[in-house]
Amino acid sequence: MTGETGHKLRGDYSRMRPDYTVDQDWDAYSPQDHELWRRLYRRQLSLVPRYACDEFNDTLAVLNFGEGIPRFDAINAKLAPATRWQLVAVPGLLPDLTFFDHLANRRFPVTVWIRDPAEFDYIVEPDIFHDFFGHVPMLFNPVFADYMQAYGKGGIKAHELGAIEMLSRLYWYTVEFGLIETPKGVRTYGAGILSSGGELPYCVESRTPNRIGFELLRIMRTLYKIDTFQETYFVIRDFGELFEATAPDFTPYYEALQGREPYSARAVLPTDRVLHRGERAAA
Ligand code: HBI
Ligand code: FE
């Protein structure tokens, strides 16, 4: 999950190591925590068969972590041989550079705390259910796993160039809210959608938002919303398209975009490959 959180962070950062990792402390979860996990998992399980991509659903079927909050080391025993990634436990949101450094080394930070029951439908800051249910199954896909590492390496470079805002838009419109074309129609692979109850049907079925073909520079220039459903979804043809987009050095892209006015989240451009023009008037 991304997006600025001006408010105080929820996690306990007092016992973290210099790289911001902590122990998961699985025994500290209460029966209520595990019950909330099962409720969240069951709700998503009723939706993902129709709206998530096969790559997500196939891994979910193999992993099967619905009985309670999973132990990170148990998942790591399966993830490492699959794509050489590992989960690291963190107290919550990390500084950008720390986050990028973990991704660049194939370490995915997973928040250890779970939301309150009152946040069943929406939470501002990523909790363990968002990070784990939304992000972890896709890390078992080799091409997507390589994309995530390339993104981390690119993030370190973007930090040096002061281009994090532009790169964060790429993360938002792919890793968090991305759609993919399939023979059965568009499906999602985005963690922010996969871990959400309402946005799963909306991103595929609603006529309100735009659905536009993936185009790197276009995305890096497009604003996003952090507290409503997305007004535009970008659609990749396959994960190869995503990974290939990260091959070139982004410095010329940042220079080309420097000082240019960003597009509003609901804009539709004449150069767009429009799969669906949303029903709200484009700003
Ligand atoms: N920290 N734990 C955690 N998880 C994220 O998804 C995350 C983060 N820090 C920053 C961040 N995402 C975004 O701003 C990235 O685009 C950098
Ligand atoms: Fe996320």
The pick from 24, 99, 177 for probing ligand 1's pocket by mutation, whose C-beta has the most ligand atoms within 8 angstroms, reads 99
Q: Where are the beta strands (DSSP E) in the chain?
A: 86-90, 107-111, 179-182, 185-188, 210-213, 232-236, 274-276
CA of 18 from ligand 1 middle (Å) equals 17
Pocket flag, ligand 1, residue 195 (CB < 6 Å):
no
Pocket flag, ligand 1, residue 171 (CB < 6 Å):
yes
CA of 229 from ligand 1 middle (Å) equals 19
Share of the chain above pLDDT 70, in %: 96
Q: Which atom of ligand 1 is nearest to the CA of 3?
A: 14
Pocket flag, ligand 1, residue 19 (CB < 6 Å):
no
CA of 225 from ligand 2 middle (Å) equals 14
Walk me through the domains of the chain, giving residue ranges and CATH numbers.
Answer: 26-276 (1.10.800.10)
DSSP state of 175: I
pTM: predicted TM-score of the whole model, two decimal places: 0.95
- Supply angle C-alpha 81, 83, 89, rounded to 5: 90
Average per-residue pLDDT for the chain:
95
DSSP state of 9: P
Name the least confident of 1-5, 173-177, 229-233: 1-5
CA of 173 from ligand 1 middle (Å) equals 14
User: What mean pLDDT do residues 185-189 have?
Assistant: 98
| Runs of H (alpha helix) within 22-163 | 31-45, 48-51, 54-63, 72-83, 96-104, 128-129, 142-161
| Residues 90, 110 contacting (CB under 8 angstroms) | yes
State pLDDT tens for residues 162-177.
Answer: 999 999 999 999 999 9
User: What mean pLDDT do residues 32-45 have?
Assistant: 98
Band of pLDDT at residue 280, cut at 50, 70 and 90: confident
